[in-house]
């Protein structure tokens, strides 16, 4: 008998979102330790580092441009925690940030994080949005996901967080008696 029902789908979806949210927020309690952890970047192999200090400043600037206020939750550390688990994805994003910075440097003679006007940032972002669409779309999706799954942001949105540590109750099963 197939157990495909709307309730099971919603339960699975809720557990997945709640689990991702909780798992993603666990390293956040260690922010004081992680700020210095990535100071020199992420070293996947001896002598091969991604996300150096310059690139991290660009990540922060781009994230703040996409989601204003994301710097207040230290989005760069959250991003780097996520990237430290996947070498291939980290190389993809590092290259995309490098490309964006090269465009800014070529056009305005300064790195992206030093751009001061919204018009300058908009020109660079419009360029990567059209020429490097995959990078921009994936980066924006990650930043939005990290931002809106952060407990500090939940408070601003008047959301108290997941209803229970394990998600919604399944009312199709009998309650368990406490012994």
pLDDT at 4: 58
pLDDT at 178: 75
Which helix (H) or strand (E) element contains residue 45? strand 42-45
pLDDT at 43: 77
| Residues in the chain with pLDDT values less than 70 | 1-36, 38-39, 163-170
| Percent of the chain surpassing pLDDT 90 | 44
Q: Which of 58, 161, 74 is nearest to 115 (CA)?
A: 58
pLDDT at 137: 96
pLDDT at 63: 95
pLDDT at 151: 87
| Domain definitions of the chain by residue range | 6-156
What's the rounded Cα separation, in Å, for the pair 116 and 10? 45
Q: What angle do CA 115, 138, 158 make, to 5 degrees?
A: 85
DSSP summary character for residue 10: H
pLDDT at 156: 86
What's the rounded Cα separation, in Å, for the pair 117 and 120? 5
The beta strands (E) that lie in 15-145 are given as 42-45, 48-50
DSSP, collapsed to helix, strand or coil, labels residue 168 as coil
pLDDT at 31: 34
Q: What is the pTM of this model?
A: 0.69
């Amino acid at each position: 008998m197939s157990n495909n029902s709307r309730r099971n789908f919603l339960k699975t979806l809720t557990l997945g979102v709640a689990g991702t949210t909780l798992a993603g927020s666990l390293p956040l309690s260690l922010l004081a330790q992680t700020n210095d952890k990535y100071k020199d970047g992420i070293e996947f192999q001896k002598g091969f580092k991604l996300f150096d200090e310059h690139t991290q400043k660009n990540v922060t600037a781009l994230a703040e441009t996409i989601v204003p206020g994301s710097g207040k939750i230290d989005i760069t550390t959250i991003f780097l925690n996520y990237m430290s688990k996947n070498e291939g994805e980290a190389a993809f994003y590092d290259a995309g940030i490098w490309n964006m910075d090269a465009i800014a440097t070529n056009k305005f003679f300064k790195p992206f994080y030093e751009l001061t006007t919204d018009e300058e940032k908009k020109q660079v972002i419009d360029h990567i949005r059209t020429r490097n669409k995959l990078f921009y779309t994936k980066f924006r999706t990650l930043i939005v996901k990290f931002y809106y799954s952060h407990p500090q942001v939940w408070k601003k949105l008047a959301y108290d967080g997941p209803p229970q540590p394990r998600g919604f109750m399944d009312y199709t099963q009998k309650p368990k008696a406490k012994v």
